[in-house]
Amino acid sequence: MLRMPVSQGCLCVVKYLMFVFNLIFWLGGCGLFGVGVWLSFTQSEFSSLPLSFPSLSAANLLLVAGGITMITGFLGCLGALKEQRCLLFTFFLILLLLVLTEVTLVLVIHIFHDQLDSKAQKELKEDMKMYESNSGLKNSWDNVQKMFKCCGVTNKTDWYNVLQGKLPLSCCSVGTQTCVEGWTEPCYQKARKWLIKNITSVLVFGVCIGVVQVGDINVFYILYIHTVHKQNVNLNLVTVYLPFRLIKLEITYLLVIMCCKL
């Protein structure tokens, strides 16, 4: 059986250290959620486009990730102060689920990057066919092309099948009566470059959150073991220790992948 005697002074330090880690974690979630809200507002003019459009998919992803991180951080803070086994274990399960999702998402994007791009571009091209029949979609495409000074998904010829060999006026400078040449740069790549330029700081922030997660798990492990023993519950070392080692390895791998992307 696992025995880990902890002095009251040491336990107090561990308890408040976990609270601080989770407070940082919660603030990080607020930051991610805030960036998601900012992206949603700045891209509101494109709201009728499919979610595969780079900035829209990033906005929704950040909103979900930020919301879950905030909930996890709150449970961690509460669990540290209350020292309730059920609350602490719930926090751990959510944290484990969050890390597994992060690792899976990063791996999928890293491995299937080209396939995801191709699928997103295909979906946007299909959506272009409703340009003349859907006023909301028309406004969204016009706003995208005016903002990024681009034309079409991959190039301006994307419009030829939609508008019978013509280009929408939004493919040219404002005030142009007829559009013949149009912008040469594709909208998908322009929007993607804009997103990467504005989201790099979020990736750095994500690495920092990952470091906090590793520290949080170490502190949580000590506090959870103490709480279990305080409630006179027998615990097997392998049953408790292996999940913690697994989640730490997953976070470390995630950090390596994210650092390589920066």
List the chain domain ranges.
8-116+196-261
pLDDT at 87: 74
Out of 95-104, 185-194, 199-208, least confident range: 199-208
Q: pLDDT averaged over the chain?
A: 72
DSSP 8-state class, residue 99: H
| Residue 229 pLDDT grade (very low, low, confident, very high; cuts 50, 70, 90) | low
Question: Burial, 174: exposed, middle or buried (Cβ in 10 Å; 0-12, 13-18, 19+)?
Answer: exposed
pLDDT surpassing 50 at residue 107: yes
Q: What is the pLDDT of residues 32-77, one digit of tens each?
A: 888 888 877 776 666 656 656 666 667 777 888 888 888 888 887 8
Out of 114-128, 148-162, 240-254, least confident range: 240-254
pLDDT at 50: 64
CB 44 within 8 A of CB 108: no
